[in-house]
Amino acid sequence: MQATTEETAIIQQTKELCQTIIDQPEFRQIRTRIDAFMGDDAAKAQYQLVMEKGDELQQKQQMGAQLDNNDIAEFEKNRELLLNNPVAANFLTAQQQMHKIQESVMQYVSKTFELGRVPTIEDFPAEGCGPSCGCH
């Protein structure tokens, strides 16, 4: 696909969708939580530590190595500290909420390409369960 400076109808409508998302009160709350986390170096360090330790444990497990109880206990302790930090906990919740919004939009767009029309709630599986329900 060639980049162009011409703004197509699809790009215009996509920008409108983006603005609609930004205008939602839930989105503003999500951004506030993310921004608070990004401004808190201690919370970011806690998060980074938990992510690194989790990755280490996962790599060991994938390589068939025996997981050390001390490593697991240290990971769990750090994870608990992270979850007890309100700024970090709010960030994790905000991440999940943001992901849910992204998934919902992507499911609708994907279903549109699949069906060749705008999908209805009935086009999604699980007896009327749509992409925004959170079960996907």
What are the tens digits of pLDDT across the range 23-73? 999 999 999 999 999 999 999 999 999 999 999 999 999 999 998 999 999
Confidence at residue 104, expressed as pLDDT on a 0 to 100 scale: 93
Contact 87, 93 (CB under 8 A): no
User: Does a structural domain hold residue 48?
Assistant: yes
User: Does a structural domain hold residue 9?
Assistant: no
User: Does a structural domain hold residue 6?
Assistant: no
Average pLDDT on 86-108 reads 96
Q: pLDDT tier at 85 (50, 70, 90 boundaries)?
A: very high
User: Does a structural domain hold residue 1?
Assistant: no
User: Does a structural domain hold residue 32?
Assistant: yes
User: Does a structural domain hold residue 113?
Assistant: yes
Q: Residue 134: left if φ>0, alpha if ψ -120 to 50, beta else—which one?
A: left
The whole model's pTM is what? 0.77
Confidence at residue 7, expressed as pLDDT on a 0 to 100 scale: 82
Q: Which domain holds residue 88?
A: 23-133
Q: pLDDT tier at 128 (50, 70, 90 boundaries)?
A: very low
Count of structural domains within the chain: 1
Handedness of CA 58, 81, 95, 52 (dihedral sign): negative
